Amino acid sequence: MKLMYTSIVLLLLVIAPLNEVSSTFTLNCSNTEVDNVSSNVVSTIEVLDDTVVWTQFQTTEDIPSSFDIVSTSGSWDATNSTGQLSYILNQDGYQADFSVTGTNSGISAQFVFHISDTQQETYNFLVSSITY
């Protein structure tokens, strides 16, 4: 019985890392849509352990914005880059929602910035690639 229990534990330790979603990844975005108006702003969105960093690449400078991750939900298959991840973010007391959706058709990402109780800005990203 002890041998069987040990074998099961070892098997779980070997299999578990294969199914584990990486907590860090980078989205490379070739286009950004702000409140349904398209722009050609190229950017990256890096999801780190406890921070999301959105960097916009402008002609004269790169503009990074950092957000603290308050909570995370969803699931992601890193092998196929499919699933749905949702984050609640905070930056200097302001809340934002960030989501990543991966399907067989590709990956999309969205920021929703809560400007006030009645006003928000929505940013949709065309994701050209993801790296883990």
Instruction: Write down the domain spans for the chain.
Output: 21-131
64 contacts: CB under 8 Å, gap ≥ 6: 53, 54, 55, 56
CATH fold of 21-131 reads Lipocalin (2.40.128)
pTM above 0.95, yes or no: no
Q: At 118, is the secondary structure helix, strand, or coil?
A: coil
Quick one: what percent of the chain has pLDDT higher than 90? 75
pLDDT digits (tens, 9 = 90+) for 15-27: 333 334 457 999 9
Q: Do 109 and 102 form a contact (C-beta atoms < 8 A)?
A: no
Exposure string for 73-98, b = 16+ CB within 10 A, e = fewer: eeebebeebbbebebebeeeeeebeb
pLDDT digits (tens, 9 = 90+) for 48-77: 999 999 999 988 999 999 999 999 999 999
Residue owning tokens 């916009």: 56
